[in-house]
Amino acid sequence: RKEVEQDPGPFNVPEGATVAFNCTYSNSASQSFFWYRQDCRKEPKLLMSVYSSGNEDGRFTAQLNRASQYISLLIRDSKLSDSATYLCVVTPWNQGGKLIFGQGTELSVKP
């Protein structure tokens, strides 16, 4: 089983839709969680950190469920510019700083 797994998609949604991505992780000792965004052939960029209590940044909401070992990203009112690949990242507590990436979920927002 991979350490971090995501639904690869692609998710094809119309503008204005709400879309949610899930990411599961296998190491229960994981300590830090992030969502990154990657545009085609570019480097990944931090979208948001994920905090235990859940957090929101504009149209984006991130949630963490430690009991079930998953994190989620909700995008409301999708824009064309949200089209990208979304990467889930997990830092295991007991692996000295390694950050493990999921394989990414592709989102395509259509007019």
Partner 1 sequence: NAGVTQTPKFQVLKTGQSMTLQCAQDMNHEYMSWYRQDPGMGLRLIHYSVGAGITDQGEVPNGYNVSRSTTEDFPLRLLSAAPSQTSVYFCASSYSRQGGSPLHFGNGTRLTVT
Q: How many residues bind partner 1 (CB under 8 A)?
A: 26
Quote the least distance from Cβ 4 to partner 1, whole Å: 8
Quote the least distance from Cβ 111 to partner 1, whole Å: 27
Could you say whether residue 107 binds partner 1 (CB under 8 A)?
no
62-70: long-range contacts, CB 8 A cutoff, minimum separation 24: 62/33, 62/35, 64/33, 66/28, 68/24, 69/24, 69/25, 69/26, 69/28, 69/30, 70/22, 70/23, 70/24, 70/25
Could you say whether residue 80 binds partner 1 (CB under 8 A)?
no
In the bound state with partner 1, the residue whose beta carbon lies nearer, of 17 and 106, is: 106
- Residues in contact with 104: Cβ distance below 8 Å, sequence separation at least 6, in sequence order: 6, 8, 38, 85, 86, 87
| The only residue of 16, 18, 20, 46 in contact with partner 1, by rule CB under 8 A | 46
Q: Which residues bind partner 1 (CB under 8 A)?
A: 8, 31-32, 34, 36, 41-46, 49, 87, 89, 91-92, 95-104
